[in-house]
């Protein structure tokens, strides 16, 4: 009977907590819906190849392949500039007789693999077609020569035919260069900068949210609010204290990720740390805000998947360009999208922090808005 009484008490308290009930049933449905939106994306990958000095047959053959676009450039410098600006994914250039050079951006190894397969198959296909055309022309020339009274003409044409066959059958040489990494670079490398930002967000968000919630449930925050101290002072005080811990934790995550995963960083490691620290402050203010909304540790734990899961699905870990337009717009509402983009540009492309002003500005706007919401949110706990 005592067990039943205790169970009845707990059940009644749960029923009275409408927010907890809503989170219990609404959050799983929301997450499953997000998973459906993320994993129902198109798996086709579009690749753009710059061609320099390549024959028209090769250019047309590349362009005829589904999801492949070949763009003709007049010079290697203009093609290289397009590659650095991510307008193309690779450059195919003609060097000399049967010798070609391909330069991959390699920031997306899946595109590199597709490009390699398409270029190799296209060059072989064009070579075979040119051999067939050469043989047809040679046969026509032989037929015309045989009707001539001069037999020496036949010998001369036959020698020309053999020369064409030898040139056509010579093996194509393809030299491969990589802007980032090498041929062993995997798709996980592309994910690593975003995952780095995600772990910074997750750990800082978790620590800041649970710590402030503990202060609230133990009454420490209520006693502090009973003093004449301003709400903004409380928020800035908490953020200053936790930001030191968050900064140290962020540096540990960044350096351990680079060292343990043997991550090649084309840009400045200091820039990587700065972006992550700014993002950690966003996560800190986010965690503080949700801790003011949660009534208990149980509710705070329910908020975690609600906040964290969208960051995973729509931050760039799963390519957004393969999803619907509205899904791409949803991803741009999340702070990890901008942090992940900035980190990817620094690590994979070697971009300077000074050229990432848009991403940094958006993160700072997130920080400002969340800080204001924290100050406003504390108003509900101040007893007048």
Higher-pLDDT residue of 328 and 164 is 328
Q: Which CATH number is 47-178 given?
A: 3.40.190
Domain segments of the chain as ranges? 47-178, 186-381
Q: Is the pLDDT of residue 376 over 70?
A: yes
Query: What was the pLDDT predicted at 160?
Result: 52
Q: Indicate the SS3 state at residue 140.
A: helix
pLDDT tens, residue by residue, 228-255: 778 788 888 888 888 888 889 899 999 9
Average pLDDT over residues 111-136: 82
Closest by CA position to 342, among listed 322, 326, 307, 366: 366
Question: What number of other Cβ atoms are within 10 A of residue 266's Cβ?
Answer: 15
Mean pLDDT over 17-29 rounds to 72
Number of CB atoms found within 10 A of residue 32's CB: 10
Radius of gyration, alpha carbons of the chain: 31
Residue in the structure block whose two tokens are 């702070």: 335
Residue with token string 């308290």: 13
Task: Please identify which residue in the block is written with the tokens 């936790």.
Answer: 242
Separation in Å, CA 187 to CA 8, 196, 233, 342, 343 = 52, 15, 45, 18, 16
| Cα–Cα dist 118/172, whole Å | 15
When pLDDT is averaged across residues 43-69 and rounded to a whole number, the result is 86
- Asked if 71 contacts 48 with a C-beta cutoff of 8 angstroms, the reply is yes
Indicate the average pLDDT of the chain. 80
């Amino acid at each position: 009977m005592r067990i039943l009484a205790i169970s009845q008490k707990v059940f009644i308290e749960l029923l009275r907590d409408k927010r907890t009930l809503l989170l219990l049933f609404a959050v799983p449905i929301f997450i499953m819906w997000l998973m459906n939106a993320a994993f129902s994306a198109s798996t086709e990958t579009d690749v753009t190849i710059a061609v320099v000095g390549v024959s028209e047959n090769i250019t047309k053959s590349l362009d005829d392949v589904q999801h492949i676009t070949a763009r003709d450039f007049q010079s290697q410098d203009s093609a290289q500039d397009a590659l650095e600006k991510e307008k193309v994914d690779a450059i195919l250039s003609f060097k000399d007789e049967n010798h070609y050079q391909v330069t991959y951006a390699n920031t997306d190894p899946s595109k590199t693999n597709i490009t390699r397969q398409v270029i190799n198959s296209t060059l072989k296909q064009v070579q075979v077609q040119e051999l067939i055309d050469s043989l047809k022309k040679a046969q026509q020339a032989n037929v015309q020569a045989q009707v001539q009274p001069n037999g020496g003409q036949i010998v001369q044409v036959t020698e020309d035919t053999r020369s064409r066959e030898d040139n056509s059958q010579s093996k194509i040489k393809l030299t491969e260069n990589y802007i980032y990494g090498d041929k062993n670079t995997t798709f996980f490398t592309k994910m690593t900068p975003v995952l780095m930002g995600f772990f910074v967000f997750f750990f800082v968000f978790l620590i800041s949210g649970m710590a402030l919630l503990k202060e609230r449930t133990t009454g420490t925050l209520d006693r502090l609010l009973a003093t004449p101290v301003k709400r903004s002072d409380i928020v800035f005080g908490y953020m200053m204290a936790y930001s030191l811990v968050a900064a140290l934790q962020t540096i540990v995550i960044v350096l351990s990720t680079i060292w343990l995963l043997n991550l090649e960083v084309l840009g400045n490691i200091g820039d990587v740390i700065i972006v992550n620290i700014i993002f950690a402050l966003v996560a800190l203010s986010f965690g503080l805000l949700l801790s003011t909304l949660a009534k208990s540790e149980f509710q705070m734990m329910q908020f975690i998947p609600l906040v964290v899961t969208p960051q995973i699905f729509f931050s760039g870990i799963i390519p957004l360009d393969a999803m619907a337009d509205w899904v791409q717009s949803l991803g741009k509402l999340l702070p990890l999208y901008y942090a992940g983009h900035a980190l990817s540009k620094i690590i994979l492309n070697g971009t300077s922090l000074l050229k990432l002003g848009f991403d940094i500005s958006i993160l700072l706007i997130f920080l400002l808005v969340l800080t204001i919401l924290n100050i406003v949110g504390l108003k509900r706990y101040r007893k007048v």
